[in-house]
Amino acid sequence: MRDINMNSIQTIDRAIDVLQAFSAGNTSLTIEEISAIAHLPKNTVYRILYTLARRGLVQFDATSLTYQPGLRLLEFSMLKSSTLDVRQEAEPFLDELHLRTKQTILMALPEKEEIFYVYKRENENYEGLSVGTLVGLRRPYLYGVLGQAVLAFFPESRIDHILSLPAKAYTKHTVTDPVLLRERLQQIRRDRVFASSHETNLGVTGIAAPIFDIHGYPIAAIGVVGPEVHLIEQLANIKQLVIEASNNISSRMGYRLDEITD
């Protein structure tokens, strides 16, 4: 953190003190217990807990009259895992995938109604071909193969929402029909890999597969992108390489490989 000559905000400091009262050994606490651990007056603790409960950061159990950490805290922990750890854990496998395929390699993470790219290693030998994707760029789920590879494994309610959004046709080959897209997502769930050509850029083929966390939730997708003329003859082999890389990364994130192969 930068060294800034600035006073901290006392209310936020106290809210953090309240949250830090919880630990692996103390996941259920009364107001009195939190007050003692955080060294704060009961009235202050109550006001903070009331605000945190409204935002889902803590929850109140009326039976035991205790507070526990809320689901939003779990979401924050999963966000750290998905945005920081997976990028770090994936990089060696993505670099290896680049060496073995000699094609452009991408990685993207889901966020609300879009994916955003966190890794790109481009093949600079193909003049005139550029995926046009930079780290940090956001795209709709239906743009290219990475978004659809991860979308296929979302809960049905989230898939319904994404498919209800307006779908753009990037070329005349882009699939935008919700019925056809649902059939495609079912096939992706069976294959755990997705390949497509000409749908975002004419003459370009993409192959992608999802990454799962320890809970079996899709937290990212990786993909190989290149000229169709270079990929079509080795499509089956590259699919296998992408699956192998995605399995390895998922395993590093705590996902059991036997669940992947079941």
Q: For residue 248, is it within any domain?
A: yes
| Alpha-carbon gap, residue 229 to 258, rounded angstroms | 35
Q: How many domains does the chain have?
A: 2
- pLDDT of 161 reads 94
- pLDDT of 246 reads 96
Q: Which of 26-30, 35-39, 124-128 has the lowest mean pLDDT?
A: 124-128
For position 156, which CATH number holds?
Answer: 3.30.450.40
CA distances from 250 to 12, 51, 65, 150 (A): 36, 36, 39, 13
- pLDDT of 242 reads 97
Do 94 and 209 lie in one domain? The reply is yes
Query: pLDDT tens-digit profile of 161-199?
Result: 999 999 999 999 999 999 999 999 999 999 999 999 999
- Cβ-based neighbours of 130, under 8 Å, separated by 6 or more: 122
- pLDDT of 128 reads 45
Q: What average pLDDT does range 96-125 have in this prediction?
A: 89
Q: For residue 29, is it within any domain?
A: yes
Query: pLDDT tens-digit profile of 42-95?
Result: 999 999 999 999 988 899 989 999 999 887 776 665 555 555 578 889 999 999
CA distances from 184 to 53, 109, 176, 189 (A): 40, 20, 11, 9
Domain interval for residue 210: 74-261
Taking the CB of residue 102, how many other CB atoms lie within 10 A of it? Answer: 12
| Alpha-carbon gap, residue 245 to 239, rounded angstroms | 10
Q: Taking 90 as the threshold, does the pLDDT of residue 130 lie above it?
A: no
**Of all helices (H) and strands (E), which one includes residue 72?**
helix 71-80
Phi-psi category of residue 6: left, alpha or beta, with phi > 0 → left and psi -120 to 50 → alpha: beta
Return the structure tokens found at 219. Answer: 């937290």
For CA atoms 86, 92, 95, 100, give the dihedral sign.
negative
Q: For residue 167, is it within any domain?
A: yes
Residue 262 pLDDT class (50, 70, 90 cuts): very low
Do 162 and 35 lie in one domain? The reply is no
Single residue among 42, 69, 96 that ends a domain in this structure: 69
Q: For residue 3, is it within any domain?
A: no
Q: For residue 5, is it within any domain?
A: no
Do 197 and 241 lie in one domain? The reply is yes
Q: Nearest to residue 147, comparing CAs of 163, 132, 171, 134?
A: 163
- pLDDT of 111 reads 85
Q: What average pLDDT does range 148-159 have in this prediction?
A: 95
Residue 10 pLDDT class (50, 70, 90 cuts): confident
| Alpha-carbon gap, residue 222 to 150, rounded angstroms | 9
Summary count for the chain: helices (H), strands (E)? 11, 8
Single residue among 50, 69, 88 that ends a domain in this structure: 69
Do 103 and 215 lie in one domain? The reply is yes
Return the structure tokens found at 215. Answer: 């809970």
Q: Is residue 199 a contact partner of residue 148, using CB atoms and an 8 Å limit? A: no
Return the structure tokens found at 179. Answer: 């019925």
Q: For residue 44, is it within any domain?
A: yes
Do 177 and 137 lie in one domain? The reply is yes
- pLDDT of 86 reads 86
| Full-model pTM | 0.66
- Angle at which helices 31-38 and 42-54 cross, to 10°: 110
Do 176 and 247 lie in one domain? The reply is yes
Q: Taking 90 as the threshold, does the pLDDT of residue 124 lie above it?
A: no
Residue 4 pLDDT class (50, 70, 90 cuts): low
Percent of the chain with pLDDT over 70: 86
Do 33 and 88 lie in one domain? The reply is no
Q: Nearest to residue 199, comparing CAs of 184, 179, 209?
A: 184
Q: For residue 104, is it within any domain?
A: yes
Q: Which residues, listed in sequence order, are joined to residue 253 by a DSSP beta bridge?
A: none
